[in-house]
Every structure is written in C-alpha cells, then in structure tokens.
C-alpha cells in the first residue's frame, strides 16, 4: 500500500483515509461471520414410510474466541433438531447438529410437503436454514428412484440423507437392552434347592431335644 501511494503521489492523510476505509469495510462486511454453517439448505428430497432420515449440519468456529449457540424450536413437530454435543465451540472446532424426520410405518397420506426453517442463534448472528422434504408412498419412491437413475442419474433422495428403517432401530434398541445385566428380584430355583439340601445335611448331626423328658 505504501509503495502504491508513493507511485500515485498520495499524501499521508490520503493514505490514512484509505486504510480506515478498508478496516471499516471489513468490520461491516455482512458476509463475514464468526461461524461457518454448512449446508445452507437442508433438502431431504423424497421420504418413504417406515424410515427415519437424518442430515448433519456442521457449525465451525472461525473466530479467535469461543462461541455458544442455541437452536430455536421449529414449528413442524415432525422435524427434530438436536446438537450431537452441548457446550461451547472452541476456536477452529466443529459442532454437529442432527436434523431428523421420522415417517411412521402406517403413514397413508401422500404426498406431503414439509417446509420449515431452523434458526441457529449465536451471540452476534442468527443463521436461518430452510428445511424441505416430501413424503411419498413406497411405490412412488421406488418409481421415482428408477426413473431418476435412468434419465439423469440423480437420486430421488439427497445424498446427504442417512436413511434407517424404524423396525431396524427398534430391534437394535431391544437387543441392547437384552444384552445388559439381568436384575434378579427372586432367588433362582436352583439356589433354593441347594439351600434346602444343605439345611437337611446340617441337621443330620444333631439329636432332637424333647422337652417332655425334663
């Protein structure tokens, strides 16, 4: 900047004004934010019954100080938004936000369009992330999937979506419960039998005491 000022024969006052303008422009740049949120839109695409679908939003702290975020509740109760871990975001670190939509197994109203906005609030900024999805029947989902793959190769569902079957989720939870320690509220029958046999053996070496002989 100094060499450029010398070549242009700028005065010292003009150089200071130019530097102040540059600093002011950086400080008031609406696109420069302390947090970087990706993706800017959550587009699920087509969703079929009996599935739970998730998309992950990443929030990176590009500031030199730690930040804390909060998420405002969404209007559509079919959308669930949760932070993978709570607490502050250290400089240079990432925080993951899970956005999920669960479609019931017995869903029978097709098609359904889901539209809402996720608001991620920090100390200085509010990030508004639009969410869109379309619930279709199993037949429509498979037909659209086949047509899309044949015509354009693009999937009917967003490639970021993690789709899981509700039945598989339920079975996985039940298996984790069955693998845990068993709580005994009653002594097993085998132990009762052993205790009875031990009591009989212990009384074998003692004579009965008759009070009538006294």
- Summary mean pLDDT of the chain: 79
- pLDDT bucket at 111, cuts 50 / 70 / 90: very high
Query: H or E segment at 138?
Result: helix 138-151
Domain with 40 in it: 35-171
In a domain, 148, yes or no: yes
Asked if residue 134 has pLDDT above 70, the reply is yes
In a domain, 200, yes or no: no
What are the percentages of helix, strand and coil residues in the chain, rounded to 5?
30, 30, 40
In a domain, 146, yes or no: yes
In a domain, 154, yes or no: yes
pLDDT in tens, 8-61: 555 666 667 666 655 544 444 454 579 999 999 999 999 999 999 999 999 999
In a domain, 189, yes or no: no
Q: Which pair of tokens denotes residue 144? A: 């659209």
pLDDT value at position 157?
85
Global pTM value: 0.66
pLDDT in tens, 158-167: 888 999 998 8
In a domain, 188, yes or no: no
**Which CATH number belongs to the domain containing residue 103 in this structure?**
2.60.40.10
pLDDT in tens, 89-104: 999 999 999 999 999 9
In a domain, 19, yes or no: no
Least Cα distance to 73 among 130, 129, 117 occurs for 117
Least Cα distance to 99 among 76, 120, 83 occurs for 83
Number of independent structural domains in the chain = 1
Q: Which pair of tokens denotes residue 59? A: 């929030």
In a domain, 81, yes or no: yes
**Would you give the DSSP letter of residue 213?**
G
Asked if residue 179 has pLDDT above 50, the reply is yes
The C-alpha atoms of residue 71 and residue 59 are separated, in whole angstroms, by: 12
- pLDDT bucket at 208, cuts 50 / 70 / 90: very low
Query: H or E segment at 8?
Result: helix 2-8
């Amino acid at each position: 900047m100094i060499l450029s000022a010398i070549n242009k024969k700028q005065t010292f006052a003009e150089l200071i004004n130019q530097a102040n303008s540059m600093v002011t422009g950086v400080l008031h740049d609406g696109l420069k934010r302390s947090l970087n949120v990706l993706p800017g839109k959550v587009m699920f695409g087509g969703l079929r019954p009996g599935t739970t679908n998730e998309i992950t939003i990443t929030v990176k702290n590009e500031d030199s100080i730690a930040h804390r975020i909060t998420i405002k509740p969404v209007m559509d109760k079919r959308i669930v938004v949760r932070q993978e871990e709570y607490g502050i975001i250290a400089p240079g670190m990432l925080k993951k936000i899970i956005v999920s939509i669960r479609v019931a197994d017995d869903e029978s109203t097709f098609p359904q369009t889901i539209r809402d906005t996720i608001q991620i609030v920090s100390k200085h900024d509010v990030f508004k992330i639009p969410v869109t999805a379309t619930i279709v029947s199993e037949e429509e989902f498979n037909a659209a999937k086949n047509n899309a793959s044949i015509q354009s190769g693009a999937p009917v569902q967003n490639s970021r979506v993690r789709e899981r079957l509700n039945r598989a989720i339920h079975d996985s939870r039940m298996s984790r419960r069955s693998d845990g320690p068993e709580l005994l509220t009653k002594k097993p029958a085998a132990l009762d039998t052993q205790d009875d046999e031990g009591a009989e053996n212990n009384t074998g070496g003692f004579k009965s005491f008759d009070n009538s002989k006294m």
